[in-house]
């Protein structure tokens, strides 16, 4: 049996590059570089690019990977993609285990 959850998601706040840089401790030029390289997602705003507040966690992960492992930008992209895939697989595994535990035997 498939369960569906109906929920309204609150809109994600958008931050300018300067606001995002202040919130993450990054330099605004570095934020712009990460956006240009595709490591952070941004959308076009009326006064320039804006970043969803949800990208702060990704920026923190980028900072940790660069500081801890000394990864270059190309390697960062690969590692970030792999980490996201691992998270997706773990979520699918948890959901499958949850479904199995809820079934009649």
Over residues 3-47, the pLDDT tens digits come to 776 777 778 899 999 999 999 999 999 999 999 999 999 999 888
**Is the CB of residue 93 less than 8 Å from the CB of residue 100?**
no
Q: How confident is the model at residue 98 (pLDDT cuts 50, 70, 90)?
A: confident
Q: Is the pLDDT score of 60 beyond 80?
A: yes
Give me the DSSP letters along 9-32.
PPPPPEEEHHHHHHHHT--HHHHH
Delineate the domains of the chain, giving CATH numbers in brackets.
Answer: 14-102 (1.10.1660.10)
Over residues 84-97, the pLDDT tens digits come to 999 999 999 999 99
Give the gyration radius of the chain's Cα atoms.
18
């Amino acid at each position: 049996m498939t369960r569906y959850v109906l929920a309204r998601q609150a809109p994600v706040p958008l931050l300018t590059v300067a606001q995002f840089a202040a919130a993450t401790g990054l330099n605004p030029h570095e934020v712009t570089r990460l956006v240009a390289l595709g490591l952070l997602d941004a959308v076009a705003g009326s006064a320039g690019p804006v970043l969803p507040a949800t990208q702060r966690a990704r920026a923190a992960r980028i900072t940790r990977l660069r500081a801890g492992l000394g990864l270059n930008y190309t390697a960062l992209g690969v590692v970030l993609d792999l980490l996201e895939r691992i998270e997706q697989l773990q979520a699918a595994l948890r959901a499958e285990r949850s479904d199995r535990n809820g079934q009649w035997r």
